[in-house]
Amino acid sequence: MEKSIALMAGQLNVKFIEVLDRYPCNEDLECKYVYTRTAKVQDGDRIAIFKTGWKSLRNYLLFEWAMHSTPAGLNSVIFCKYDLPSTPNDTDDLYQFCYISGENVVQGISTPFQIYSAESKYTVNLTDSLKNEQQTSHLKHLLSLKDKEILRLKEENAMLKESLKAIVDQRKFQRSKNYDDEITELKEVTKMLKDTVLAQQQELNSLKLEISRDRAEHKNLMLEKIIAEKKFEGVNEKKPSGVKRLNLDFDLGSLKPLPPFPFDSP
């Protein structure tokens, strides 16, 4: 998809710094940049090299993925010397860096610069010591970035371990608490059942005792009745013959006995 490159300066969220006028094509090229406060870093952000006068994002020569560091700090990417365009010394071709977001929106444009070959007269003045110093500085910068990334990963790993340990401990505590609650509830139910059985047993014993007392009282009443009948018969025998005797002779066995208590053992 073709993208318009007519952007207002206030819309740019990335600023390229320390851009040189010329870069040798036989050395790695370092591109430095910073984010503005309104910049939003996202996946797919990249820095590309275009030849000035480009009309479409498809006209890029090469690109590198942007480093996702803190927006407030200095950032950089390295373009390998083997990927840089080899420009003859007698040409005036100009190039520029462009920061392109993951949504294919231009967020920053650098000032133009040249890329010249190693045989150019501008490289004759470079001494070996200066080259070594630049390479050493570049390596130190790369090592610093790697160390920061390793430190960040270690911190994230430690945080993840602590979070996992907290989750496991919480689950163990909750599981133990649930077991304790279940055991307490079972003990309470068992005690309630025991109390109920004991109360029923006491009530049953009371009923048995009451029935035994009723039986003994019934026997005593029957005995008193028999004695009273005997005495009454003796009185009737002493009365004159003209007095009609009451017929009190009856069979005590005709009386119905009390039914046995269902819980009473024989």
**Which of 35-49, 73-87, 93-107 is predicted most confidently?**
93-107
Mean pLDDT across the stretch 76-86? 90
What are the tens digits of pLDDT across the range 116-162?
Answer: 886 644 444 445 556 677 778 888 888 888 888 898 999 999 999 99
Q: Which residues contact 105 (CB under 8 A, 6 or more apart)?
A: 3
- How many angstroms separate the CA atoms of 34 and 232, rounded? 135
Q: Which residues contact 120 (CB under 8 A, 6 or more apart)?
A: 24, 89
What are the tens digits of pLDDT across the range 232-244?
Answer: 887 777 665 554 5
In percent, how much of the chain has pLDDT > 90?
30
- How many angstroms separate the CA atoms of 191 and 173, rounded? 27
Mean pLDDT across the stretch 17-38? 91
Q: Where in the chain are the domains?
A: 9-126
CATH of 9-126, one of 2.60.40.2840, 3.40.190.10, 3.40.50.300, 3.40.220.10: 2.60.40.2840
Is the pLDDT confidence value at 16 over 90?
Answer: yes
pLDDT value for 260: 63
pLDDT value for 92: 78
What are the tens digits of pLDDT across the range 29-66?
Answer: 999 999 888 888 888 899 999 999 999 999 999 999 98
What are the tens digits of pLDDT across the range 109-128?
Answer: 999 999 988 664 444 444 55
Tokens of 165: 């340990």
Query: Is this prediction's pTM over 0.85?
Result: no
Confidence of residue 230 (pLDDT cuts 50, 70, 90): confident
Pairing, β 62-65 against β 106-109: unpaired
- How many angstroms separate the CA atoms of 29 and 221, rounded? 129
pLDDT value for 14: 92
Confidence of residue 208 (pLDDT cuts 50, 70, 90): confident
In percent, how much of the chain has pLDDT > 70?
75
Asked if 72 and 24 touch (Cβ cutoff 8 Å), the reply is: no
What is the number of alpha carbons within 13 Å of residue 30 lying toward its C-beta? 13
